Amino acid sequence: MEVLAGTPLRCRKVTIVDRMDNRNDVRDFFASRRAKLTPDQAGVPASGGNRRVPGLRRGEVATLAGVSVEYYTRLERGNLAGVSESVLEAMARALQLDEAERSHLFDLARTAGTSKRQRRTAPQHVRPSVQFVLDAITDAPAFVRNARMDILAANRLGLALHSEMYVNPIRPANYARFIFLDEERARRFFPDWELAANNMVAILRAEAGRDPFDRGLSDLVGELSTRSDEFRTRWAAHNVRRHYTGFKHFHHPVVGELRLLFEAMELSADTGLSLFIYPAEPGSPSADALRLLASWAATLELAGLPQTAPAEGGA
């Protein structure tokens, strides 16, 4: 279930109707983007007197977008149903949205005013040919993930890299649950845990805007919001992000520091699934560490042992 920011947790009651009505998300997204943009950044002349709100005023955003204050106020109250693409583009420019934020705005508009009920997504499976592709990648961790951050399949190095996530017996292993519900272990695994946590919530927020009818995603957000103050605070910030390429930093309990590149590719034949590959730069210490990790994984596999790191204080 989705938990609404600003309401005491013990008083929150979410219904199917609440989940489908995205006006609160629209309102908070507009307000949060407006609050982040200063008059100097927007090129708005400074006015006298104290500003009662951080960032831009509604009237300033309306002027930048070329619409009336009344019309902008209606939009910020969550009434995006039927808004034209040209107006959305004007809003994106006025608020200086990045590509992920712009896409999120269009997603919110696309689902505004809908009465469609949430659906329980059928269990997702990785096709054998995709697993063959994963297994053919032998020098880099590779795995398939869905939009809810579940790891559905991996190659040997992918399993070994994420061994800390597999300590929890719940399957499928889930990135978001690991970061926020196994926080002590996650903070050791991610040297920059704050960055990992911020990125994870921003990815989930973007996905929730893209597909608000995914009951599993909504349930995950509700679970994390109820059980983690760290998640709930970040969720209320309404930051969004797309995550396709970049750099990852891990501290693995067996091989130590790993600084890896990453590339993500959507599987066009499998809606909602993406393939992730984490290679190391050739000749780098991380490349050596991956070879050591592969040896460790092979040893465990041959011995029939689970691919998890030894518990603290174990042999």
Instruction: Give the phi and the psi of residue 151 in degrees, each rounded to 5.
Output: -90, 115
Q: Is there a single domain that holds both residue 106 and residue 71?
A: yes
Read off the pLDDT of residues 77-125 as tens digits, 9 standing for 90 and up: 999 988 999 999 999 999 999 999 999 999 999 988 765 566 666 678 8
Q: Is there a single domain that holds both residue 35 and residue 62?
A: yes
**Cα separation of 211 and 58, whole Å?**
28
Instruction: Name 7's Cβ contacts closer than 8 Å, sequence gap at least 6.
Output: none
Taking residue 65's Cβ as centre, other Cβ atoms within 10 Å add up to 20
- Among 77, 111, 145, give the residue marking a domain's end: 111
- Among 51, 85, 111, give the residue marking a domain's end: 111
Q: Is there a single domain that holds both residue 277 and residue 204?
A: yes
| Number of domain units in the chain | 2
Range of the domain at 258: 128-303
Let me know if residue 117 belongs to a domain.
no
pTM metric for this prediction: 0.85
Is 6's pLDDT higher than 60?
Answer: no
Tokens standing for 264? Answer: 């993500």
**Cα separation of 105 and 23, whole Å?**
12
Q: Is there a single domain that holds both residue 166 and residue 229?
A: yes
Beta-strand runs (E) in the chain: 142-146, 151-154, 245-252, 256-266, 273-277
Report the CATH number that the domain containing residue 183 is assigned in CATH.
3.30.450.180
Q: Is there a single domain that holds both residue 161 and residue 280?
A: yes
Q: Is there a single domain that holds both residue 163 and residue 205?
A: yes
Taking residue 297's Cβ as centre, other Cβ atoms within 10 Å add up to 21
Using a 10 angstrom Cβ sphere, with 0-12 exposed, 13-18 middle and 19 or more buried, the burial of residue 129 is exposed
Q: Is there a single domain that holds both residue 228 and residue 170?
A: yes
Q: Is there a single domain that holds both residue 147 and residue 277?
A: yes
Chain centre distance of CA 304 = 34
Mean of the per-residue pLDDT values for the chain? 87
Q: Is there a single domain that holds both residue 159 and residue 285?
A: yes
Let me know if residue 182 belongs to a domain.
yes
Query: Looking up tokens 């730069």, which residue turns up?
Result: 281
Instruction: Give the phi and the psi of residue 274 in degrees, each rounded to 5.
Output: -135, 145
Q: Is there a single domain that holds both residue 102 and residue 138?
A: no
Q: Write b or e for each residue in 134-168: b if 16 or more Cβ atoms lie within 10 A of its Cβ, otherwise e.
A: beebeebbbbbbbbbbbbbbbbbbbbbbbbbbbee
Q: Is there a single domain that holds both residue 182 and residue 248?
A: yes
Report the CATH number that the domain containing residue 29 is assigned in CATH.
1.10.260.40
Let me know if residue 262 belongs to a domain.
yes
Read off the pLDDT of residues 187-243 as tens digits, 9 standing for 90 and up: 999 999 999 999 999 999 999 999 888 899 999 999 999 999 999 999 999 999 988
Is 258's pLDDT higher than 50?
Answer: yes
Let me know if residue 309 belongs to a domain.
no
Tokens standing for 121? Answer: 């997504």
Q: Write b or e for each residue in 83-109: b if 16 or more Cβ atoms lie within 10 A of its Cβ, otherwise e.
A: beeebbebbbebbebeebbbbbbbbbb
Is 255's pLDDT higher than 60?
Answer: yes
